[in-house]
């Protein structure tokens, strides 16, 4: 599924960084945990960030053991026992 974006994503990121450097602007990157605080909140949050001009949005997908993440991401990443959670995010909210 993500194979088609492999080269495109890194190319687009490099273009954004280069444009911002040329314009002497700082790039803003935001991390969002999918499904936090609720699954239905994810798409409105992403939309609002895009409308505000965020350059990069990293979409975190919670997993059952976020021990390697810092305390803030651990708090926002409760275990989701439903194995269809990730499929539900992409099918329900993303074009």
The full set of domain ranges for the chain reads 27-93
Nearest to 39 by CA among 75, 3, 88, 72: 88
pLDDT by residue, tens only, the chain of 95 residues: 445 555 677 888 889 999 999 999 999 999 888 878 877 888 899 999 999 999 999 888 776 666 777 777 777 666 554 555 666 666 655 55
Catalytic, 23? Answer no
- Residue 52: per-residue pLDDT: 95
- Residue 30: per-residue pLDDT: 93
- Residue 1: per-residue pLDDT: 43
- Residue 2: per-residue pLDDT: 45
- Residue 95: per-residue pLDDT: 54
Catalytic residue, chosen from 40, 41, 51, 69, is: 69
> Rounded distance, CA 3 to CA 5, Å?
5
Q: Are 56 and 29 in contact (CB under 8 A)?
A: yes
Catalytic residue, chosen from 23, 51, 58, 68, is: 58
């Amino acid at each position: 599924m993500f194979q088609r974006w492999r080269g495109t994503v890194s190319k687009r990121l490099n273009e954004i960084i280069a444009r911002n450097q040329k314009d002497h602007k700082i790039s803003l990157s935001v991390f969002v945990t999918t499904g936090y605080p609720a699954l239905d909140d994810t798409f409105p949050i992403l939309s609002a960030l895009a409308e505000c001009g965020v350059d990069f949005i990293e979409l975190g997908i919670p997993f059952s053991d976020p021990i390697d993440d810092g305390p803030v991401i651990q708090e926002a990443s409760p275990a989701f026992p439903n194995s269809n959670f990730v499929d539900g995010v992409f099918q329900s909210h993303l074009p």
